[in-house]
Amino acid sequence: MNAVSLDGKKVLVVGGSAGIGLEVAKIALQLGGVVHIASRGKTVPTSILDGVIYHECDAKSDASLRALFDEVGSVDHVAVTVHESAARLGIDTTADRMNLSAVIEYAEGKYLSQYRVIQAALPHLAMDGTITLTSGVASRAIMANHSAISGVNAAIEASARQLAKEQAPRRINVVAPGVTETTTYDAMLPELREQFIKQIAAVVPLRRLALPEEIALSYIFAMQCGYLTGTVIDVSGGQLIG
Ligand SMILES: NC(=O)c1ccc[n+]([C@@H]2O[C@H](COP(=O)([O-])OP(=O)(O)OC[C@H]3O[C@@H](n4cnc5c(N)ncnc54)[C@H](OP(=O)(O)O)[C@@H]3O)[C@@H](O)[C@H]2O)c1
């Protein structure tokens, strides 16, 4: 069995204070990892999880990320789950109504922030270490009002393939979640949220949204499977097969 043990390994989850990232942190902790999480401290209290080391950090800032990695030091595994909510920015719309400033903010909060984490992490990352990024099913699924969201998520997957070759033997992968029940939808009005959940469940073969812990397992797999690199792990309840 050549699974990479997380026992005693340092695992950093950037975006780990809520949603999918928080579940990655919980599982890594259960598997014996020394777990650090980082977030801006905006959406949740910072004292969320016993046993993890919390860092305040804004992935939109190079200086903040440099300070984070100076604090964390050498690291074995980095999972990145940051984003700006597309729903909050109102870019889940048609091209004729699209606000390009909001698209730029989305790309900044998701693609560029993840890219910045990679740049900040590399000087500290073990040679057998991993970085696992996050895209989304919209990178390839045809979904109404997703032209801009799709492009940003596809860019993450494209960059990861290049980086996996460039940075080997370090391993770089991407998790592409389907729609997942997390805090990201808390900002929606309850009736709109209900309607949205029903619409998504209707087009997913498993007929429901994902739970954050179901998505989180794939980041752990990416850390533990020593032969996995340059790959997108789709965890979408079958949405890509229609
Ligand atoms: N939920 C879904 O349906 C879904 C579907 C497809 C893809 N995804 C992707 O999966 C990832 C996780 O989504 P989620 O739903 O779990 O998100 P979430 O519940 O909104 O949590 C996002 C986490 O990232 C942190 N964060 C956001 N911006 C940050 C920044 N600039 N610097 C540092 N931390 C930051 C947040 O904390 P602070 O705000 O306190 O910083 C929070 O801990 C995202 O990349 C998202 O696009 C989600």
The pLDDT tens digits for 76-97 are 999 999 999 998 899 999 999 9
Tell me, what's the pLDDT at 8? Answer: 97
Residue 194 belongs to some domain of the structure: yes
Q: How many domains are contained in the chain?
A: 1
Confidence of residue 4 (pLDDT cuts 50, 70, 90): confident
In a domain, 78, yes or no: yes
CATH number at residue 183: 3.40.50.720
What is the model's pLDDT at position 44?
A: 59
Amino acid in position 108: E
pLDDT of residue 87: 84
Mean pLDDT of the chain: 94
Residue 33 beta carbon below 6 angstroms from any ligand 1 atom: no
Give 13-40 pLDDT, tens digit per residue. Answer: 999 999 999 999 999 999 999 999 999 9
CA distance readout (Å), 151 to 36, 91, 120: 30, 12, 24
Q: What is the pLDDT of residue 88?
A: 87
Closest CA to 171 of 123, 115, 229, 220: 229
Tally of CA atoms within 13 A in the half-sphere of 12 that contains its CB? 30
Two structure tokens written together for 137? 């099913």
Mean pLDDT of the region 194-209: 93
- Residue 67 one-letter amino acid: A
* pLDDT of 47: 58
Task: Specify if 241 maps to a domain.
Answer: no
**Residue with token string 């950090």:** 57
Q: Tell me the whole-structure pTM to 2 decimals.
A: 0.96
Q: How far apart are CA 155 and CA 172, in angstroms?
A: 14
Over the stretch 210-240, which tens digit does the pLDDT of each residue have? 999 999 999 999 999 999 999 999 999 999 9
4 lies in some domain: no
The answer to whether position 92 is within a domain reads yes
Around 116, how many Cα atoms within 13 Å sit in the side-chain half-sphere?
Answer: 23
Q: How does pLDDT run across 137-157, given as a tens digit for each residue?
A: 999 999 999 999 999 999 999
Residue 182 lies in a domain: yes
* Residue 97 near ligand 1, beta carbon < 6 Å: no
- Domain assignment of residue 106, yes or no: yes
Whether pLDDT at 209 is above 70 = yes
3 found inside a domain: no
Question: Other C-beta atoms within 10 Å of 23: how many?
Answer: 24
Expressed as residue numbers, the domain containing 166 is: 10-235
Measured in angstroms, how far is the CA atom of residue 104 from the centroid of ligand 1?
17
Instruction: Report residue 28 as tokens.
Output: 């890594």
Decide if pLDDT at 2 tops 60: no
Bridge partners of residue 158, in order along the sequence: none
Residue 188 has a pLDDT of 80
What's the CA-to-centroid distance between 14 and ligand 1, angstroms? Answer: 9
Question: CA angle at residue 160 from 26 to 111, to 5 degrees?
Answer: 75
* pLDDT class of 186 with cuts at 50, 70, 90: confident
Tell how far the Cα of 202 is from the centroid of ligand 1, in angstroms.
24
Do β-strands 171-177 and 232-235 pair in parallel, antiparallel, or remain unpaired? parallel
Q: Are 194 and 182 in contact (CB under 8 A)?
A: no
Cβ of 114 closer than 6 Å to ligand 1, yes or no, is: no
Q: How far is the CA of 2 from the centre of ligand 1 (A)?
A: 31
Residue 61 CA, closest ligand 1 atom number: 31
